[in-house]
């Protein structure tokens, strides 16, 4: 097993979650940018435009993340999840709006299309990092037992095997050593455990 494979095994859950989260994020990004351009080009202010567009994108993101990105995680009620989700998105939106407002009012680049585009997407990037962390931490918790106990130990052993090349050895329920292929052999290849005492 290569080091890369060991790292993938160790972090595969977060990799898969982030990939799905990223796809939903791209959809949300398109909604935010298109909505921003449409509203701002029709006389709506920059902060109002990004706020409204982001609210629409947030609704789409909640549906996509709940039923796809984090569907394997612990569920509670929709009202509870929705409330926390939208509060956290409100914080993310404040981060995003702060970048847009800084560009428009502090740097006075409200009519600079390139600067506006960069500010909007820089704000989205910062807010996205916060959202991914907070969703996993507060909205959809890890399944019971996931990431703790035996799961973490097994992942650590996989990673150690990838680095050292030593065959992975676990214990079966009756305490016998088994190798990764599950053939019941001890690490020294002597075969399955035999009783230490003969029957009388």
Integer angstrom CA distances of residue 64 from 22, 57, 87: 11, 10, 17
Kindly indicate the confidence band of residue 176, based on its pLDDT and cuts at 50, 70 and 90: very low
- For residues 131 and 173, which has the higher predicted lDDT (pLDDT)? 131
Domain boundaries, the chain: 3-139, 147-192
Phi-psi region at 75: left, alpha or beta (left = phi > 0; alpha = psi -120 to 50): beta
46 and 100 in contact (C-beta within 8 Å)?
yes
pLDDT one-digit tens code per residue, 30-63: 998 899 999 988 999 988 998 899 889 888 988 8
Which pLDDT does position 80 carry in this prediction? 85
Look at residue 27 in the predicted model and tell me its pLDDT. 92
CB contact set of 100 (below 8 Å; sequence gap of 6+)? 46, 47, 50, 116, 119, 120, 123
pLDDT, average across residues 144-155: 41
Residue 77 burial (CB count, 10 A): 8
| Per-residue pLDDT, 150 | 36
Determine how many CB atoms are found less than 10 A away from the CB of residue 83: 12
Residues in the chain: 200
pLDDT at 152 over 60: no
- Of 73-87, 144-158, 163-177, least confident by mean pLDDT is 144-158
Higher pLDDT, 161 or 140: 140
Quick one: pLDDT at residue 65?
86
Q: Which of 83, 28, 82 is CA-nearest to residue 56? A: 28
Among 109-118, 120-129, 182-191, name the one with the lowest average pLDDT: 182-191
pLDDT in tens, 69-113: 887 776 677 888 888 988 998 898 899 889 999 988 888 887 888
Determine the average pLDDT of the residues in 151-165: 41
Coil/strand/helix, residue 189: coil
34 φψ region: left (φ > 0), alpha (ψ -120 to 50), beta (else)? alpha
pLDDT in tens, 108-120: 887 888 988 899 8
Q: What is the pLDDT of residue 9?
A: 73
């Amino acid at each position: 097993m290569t080091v890369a494979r060991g790292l993938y095994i160790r972090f595969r859950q977060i990799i898969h979650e982030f990939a799905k989260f990223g796809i939903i994020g791209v959809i949300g990004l398109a909604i935010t940018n298109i909505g921003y351009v449409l509203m701002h080009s029709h006389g709506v202010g920059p902060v109002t435009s990004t706020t409204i567009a982001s609210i629409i994108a947030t609704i789409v993101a909640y549906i996509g993340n709940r039923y796809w990105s984090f569907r394997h995680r612990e569920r509670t009620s929709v009202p509870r999840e929705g409330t926390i989700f939208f509060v956290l998105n409100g914080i993310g939106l404040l981060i995003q709006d702060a970048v847009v407002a800084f560009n428009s009012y502090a740097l006075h680049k409200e009519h600079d299309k390139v600067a506006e585009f960069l500010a909007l997407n820089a704000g989205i990037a910062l807010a996205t990092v916060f959202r991914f962390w907070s969703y996993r931490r507060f909205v959809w918790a890890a399944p019971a037992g996931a990431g703790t106990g035996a799961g973490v130990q097994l992942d650590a052993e996989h990673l150690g095997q990838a680095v050292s090349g030593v065959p992975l050895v676990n214990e079966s329920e009756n305490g016998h050593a088994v190798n990764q292929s599950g053939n019941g052999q001890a690490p020294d290849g002597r075969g399955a455990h035999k009783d230490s005492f003969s029957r009388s």
